[in-house]
Amino acid sequence: MERLINKVAIITGAAQGMGESHARTFVAEGAKVILTDVSAEAGQKLADELGENAIFIKHDVTCSEQWAHVVAEAEKAFGHVNVLVNNAGILGPMVKTQELQEADYLKVCDINQHSVFYGMKAVIPSMIKAGIGSIVNISSIAGIVANYGFPSLAYVASKFAVRGMTKATAIEYGEKNIRVNSVHPGFIKTPMMVAATNEEGGDALAQIPLGRLAEPKEVSNLVLFLASEESSYITATEHSIDAGMTAQ
């Protein structure tokens, strides 16, 4: 079933992990997709594999000028952008506040938080021209609660910010038929998460009611729903996908 026919989507951090899964899912569901990442070799390889409905652009999400370039290239290739998935992110150093260096704090906030602002600002004019838009900002359960193995102030601060930015932008642009939602994954089996724990989830398993890490595809199914017209009356909302972790 092609649930994203006539959708032109930008997905950041698309070279691996959840971003790669989102890109594969979107193309399979009929979208034309612009994959962006700093990992050029992996990103281009994935775009080549996905075929004519996918292009790759090397992209530093912390640079507003590069965002303008990405949107312009997307419009040139496929037309007005009507979906944005702000997926790029990093964990940063897992240290306590007293040990957190200013440079590390700013780097995490630049990639996880400021890039979301740059992306929304860059893509909204294209969505207004299209007459419709859906922005999906990938936050974290660390944007809902400040624990579960995330002691870093920088990570928690950036992910809580994404949640608030999502709501504010959704309220501002609802009249333009642009929806904005945030997704809050728990422990997902991605290279970033495995590096922080292990293939099974390490000590985190004790905190997960379903007793396992999620596969990236499980998050992609939620992102697909929010990007599609099936969620046409859903905006300004956080969507946890955490196997019940934040219910405790």
Question: Is residue 79, in this structure, part of any structural domain at all?
Answer: yes
Share of the chain above pLDDT 70, in %: 92
Question: Is residue 195, in this structure, part of any structural domain at all?
Answer: no
Question: Is residue 30, in this structure, part of any structural domain at all?
Answer: yes
- Active-site residue, selected from the candidate residues 105, 148, 155, 173: 155
Q: What is the CATH number of the domain that holds 229?
A: 3.40.50.720
Question: Is residue 197, in this structure, part of any structural domain at all?
Answer: no
Question: Is residue 1, in this structure, part of any structural domain at all?
Answer: no
Q: Tell me the per-residue pLDDT of 31-44, one tens digit each, with 9 for 90 and over.
A: 999 999 999 999 99
Question: Is residue 3, in this structure, part of any structural domain at all?
Answer: no
| pTM for the model | 0.95
* pLDDT average, residue stretch 138-152: 84
Share of the chain above pLDDT 90, in %: 85
Question: Structurally, how many domains does the chain consist of?
Answer: 1
Task: Single out the residue of 185, 74, 77, 188 nearest to residue 122, CA to CA.
Answer: 74
Question: Is residue 227, in this structure, part of any structural domain at all?
Answer: yes
Q: Tell me the per-residue pLDDT of 218-234, one tens digit each, with 9 for 90 and over.
A: 999 999 999 999 999 99
Question: Is residue 36, in this structure, part of any structural domain at all?
Answer: yes
Q: Tell me the per-residue pLDDT of 82-132, one tens digit each, with 9 for 90 and over.
A: 999 999 999 999 999 999 999 999 999 999 999 999 999 999 999 999 999
Which range of residues forms the domain containing residue 59?
Answer: 8-187+215-247
| Separation in Å, CA 226 to CA 4, 63, 138, 190, 220 | 11, 26, 12, 21, 10
Catalytic residue check, 233: no
